[in-house]
Amino acid sequence: MRTVNSLIGSPIERLEDLRFLRGRGQYVDDLARKDMLHAAILRSSVAHGRIRSIAVAAARALPGVHSVITAKDIGNRVPRVPMRLQPLPDFEPFGQPVIAETKVRYVGEAIAVVLAETAAIAEDALGLIEVEIEPLPAVADRRASAQDASLLFEDKGTNLAIKFRAVRGDAAAAFADAPYVRRESFRTQRHMALPLEPRGLLAEWDAARGRLTLSGGAKVLFFNRRTLAKQMGLPESAIEIVENDVGGGFGARGEFYPEDFLIPFAARHTGRPVKWTEDRREHLMCVNHAREAECDVEIACKRDGTILALRGHAYVDVGAYMRTNGAVGARNVAQFMSGPYRIPHIDVDVALQLTNKTPVGTYRGPGRFETDFFRERLLDMVAQDLGLDRVEFRRRNLVSQREMPYQIATITPFESKDEFDSGDYQTTLDRCLDEIKWTEKSKLAGKLIDGRYHGLALGCFIEGGAAGPKESARIVLEPDGLYSVYVGSSAIGQGLETAFAQIAADALEVTIDRIRGVFHGSTCYVDDGYGAYHSRSVVMGGSAMLDAAKNLREAIRAQAAQRLGCQPSEVEIVEGSKAVGPGGKSIALNGLSSEGISAEGAFLNKKHTYTYGAHAAHVAVDAKLGHVELVDYVVVEDCGRIINPLTVHGQAIGSVVQGLGGAMMEHLVYDQEGQLLTGSLADYLIPTASDFPNIRAIVMGDHPSPINPLGAKGAGEGGIIAAGGVMANAVANALSAFGAQPRELPLTPTRVWELAQAPRK
């Protein structure tokens, strides 16, 4: 048996695995209710157009169809999907109606909901709905968007949702005097999180009690409950949102989507439980897209490689609407373009351009993947121009430990100031170089060996975490002496139950088997919760749990003191199982209270943690096939205090592979009419087991965060952030004989082949 206080930092095998490995997880589509109706959603096949008519009679007449819902059935004003983050008034006009009213603005937008006795009949009925749409010119990309020739929102007179600007120092003055300036343009492609479990919802309306239960929640249950309560005209207390086992999130899953209104509405409308399970084609065209960004940037340096300033313009294609967290990626492109580097003067703006494509939202490392590609590519070009070693150039400009906390560019109009909390960025870089054997492998750079060109590259990153403002936890000492832990955080497959059991057991000074369970995923467990995004669950929820444990121990002491006839301060809790008073008089905790003792805790925080690290890659490029083999890949990150090395290592590896997908293959392709051409998993390619077998992750915990009691930082995004830049730099290095300079992702065979078409130097 393990001794107490040793769980944090131990590679505890996960508690969740016991059910998942036996096929006993319970995901939302596993649920069934008596009398349940199945929903299917008719979606626009036109990217931009005005709805002339919707005829549902034939669908409604199909045997097995219960009803068909369109905007007309919803009420006077169709609710909009709100902005959860950066809820600026500027975004309000661009909100998405939960069902198309007068216009459709992207392929996949909901037009009608069919409710039927089986999912198959519901789908049959979709084909019987006749929709007449007068097509309007599709706005297919950010350039067309900026021309404002065809407007998504005519009343607004512009397709520009907003411009953010990131400023630090005086970039104009710094550029005026700069001895060296380079200007470049880069582009990253639209791709997406693609969790393996499609979304799903099961809504149950209890008419007698006026209560709604919605299963299938994830990530931000409490925000979604607030939103849904408003939209349905219900008190928040009348709604319970339940999170089942969740098959991956990565930022996209659990945001408030149109269906999060439509399915509960349908349940109330029909008076029967309604289940909707998204299919993969719907997923590809309805769940938030991400990452479609371009930039024209300039960097100013001294000849010795000291970076003086960075300025420029970025453009993000945000799709057809501004919804929930759709501004985060763009904001981050501007604010984090400087990455972990000391750049005294910054002036970068970013235009959020609306187009007739699926709306965007966050995907793991939002904005950071894009901007790391821009910056790390630019840094390699500068190093080459100035004849500097790529490593030394970066080393010279990394923010140093003595500069912490280090203030980064401020974003307007949101006035978002931010600073790096702590760390020694040189150490992760050094470790990364050691692990990849940089010096030894440098000899291979650009060499043609057995028909393949070898390339080597590195890149550095920072990863924000711990978004505030608050997280809540509650711990209950049950009558039988075991502890139950309730948290407002969400599990999306990241192993939250195990990590929280470790934290709680250590805080309560008990062994892990005394934790009966970690209960999360319902809006009825704690008063409020903020969810799982921005690498915040462990940092925020874990810190709240420390507070709850402290409060619970106090409550236990107080109750025991009464029974032992002494002061609470005289009571000592031993091994979490008994309370000992003066003179060794003791009472077992399992007999302390017949209804259990409960204590709440919270953690409030306005600052962010910054995990940091470095990636390095060794590739071998078959220039004639345009094929890039990953020979070796190393990610080193320091994420502060590590709760579970097994899971944090797993997160790092998984994150890298997603990043390699974005670097090499994943691409949501649209044509000029706004049609999505990659509507199946045969066309939208993600990495498989045979693509990237050689990846190593080293997670360090040398520099705990000073801004939370756990000392933890966010983990899980670092692996993805630098992958695009590093792979592009590795290919550039491999194909240096051709003067290859990738400026666009993904590095498809066609693109890599094109890079090698220039005459060899």
Residues 606-635 that bind another protein (CB under 8 A): 624-627
CB of 681 to another protein, least distance (A): 4
Site for another protein in 445-504 (CB under 8 A): 492-495
CA-nearest of 709, 736, 731, 703 to 462 is 703
CA-nearest of 543, 708, 717 to 640 is 708
Q: Cα Rg for the chain, rounded, in angstroms?
A: 27
Which of 4, 9, 10, 27 is close enough to bind another protein by CB under 8 A? 27
CB of 259 to another protein, least distance (A): 16
Site for another protein in 111-170 (CB under 8 A): 118-120, 123-124, 127
Q: Is 533 in the site for another protein (CB under 8 A)?
A: no
**Which sign, positive or negative, has the C-alpha torsion 734, 738, 741, 745?**
negative
Which of 2, 5, 6, 17 is close enough to bind another protein by CB under 8 A? 17
How many residues make contact with another protein (CB under 8 A)? Answer: 80
**Closer CB to another protein, 112 or 193, in the complex:** 193
CB of 45 to another protein, least distance (A): 13
Site for another protein in 703-742 (CB under 8 A): none
**Which sign, positive or negative, has the C-alpha torsion 57, 62, 63, 64?**
negative
Which of 189, 227, 543, 658 is close enough to bind another protein by CB under 8 A? 658
Give me the DSSP letters along 467-529: --SEEEEEEEE-TTS-EEEEESS--SSS-HHHHHHHHHHHHHT--GGGEEEEE-SBTTTSS--
Q: Is 691 in the site for another protein (CB under 8 A)?
A: yes
Site for another protein in 174-203 (CB under 8 A): 193-198
Q: Is 32 in the site for another protein (CB under 8 A)?
A: yes
CB of 283 to another protein, least distance (A): 9
Which of 14, 225, 313, 520 is close enough to bind another protein by CB under 8 A? 14
Q: Is 369 in the site for another protein (CB under 8 A)?
A: no
**Closer CB to another protein, 552 or 663, in the complex:** 663
Distance CA 436, CA 294 (A): 31
What's the Cα-to-Cα distance from 607 to each of 366, 417, 420, rounded to whole Å?
18, 10, 9
**Closer CB to another protein, 167 or 720, in the complex:** 720
CA-nearest of 96, 98, 100, 95 to 129 is 100
Residue window 266-305: x/- pattern of binding to another protein, with contact defined by CB under 8 A: -------------xxx------------------------
CB of 17 to another protein, least distance (A): 4
CB of 261 to another protein, least distance (A): 23
CB of 190 to another protein, least distance (A): 13
Site for another protein in 229-258 (CB under 8 A): 245-248, 250
Which of 13, 513, 527, 702 is close enough to bind another protein by CB under 8 A? 13
Q: Is 3 in the site for another protein (CB under 8 A)?
A: no
Give me the DSSP letters along 634-693: EEEEE-BS-S-HHHHHHHHHHHHHHHHHHHHT----B-TT--BS--STTTS----TTT--
Other Cβ atoms closer than 10 A to 440: 8
CB of 390 to another protein, least distance (A): 26
**Closer CB to another protein, 188 or 498, in the complex:** 498
Which residues, other chains included, contact 434 with Cβ-Cβ below 8 Å and sequence gap of 6+? Answer: none
Phi and psi angles of residue 631, each rounded to the nearest 5 degrees, phi first: -80, -40
Which of 324, 427, 655, 729 is close enough to bind another protein by CB under 8 A? 655
Distance CA 92, CA 80 (A): 9
128 dihedral zone (left: phi>0; alpha: psi -120 to 50; beta): alpha
Instruction: Find tokens 């096939």 and name the residue.
Output: 625
CB of 664 to another protein, least distance (A): 9
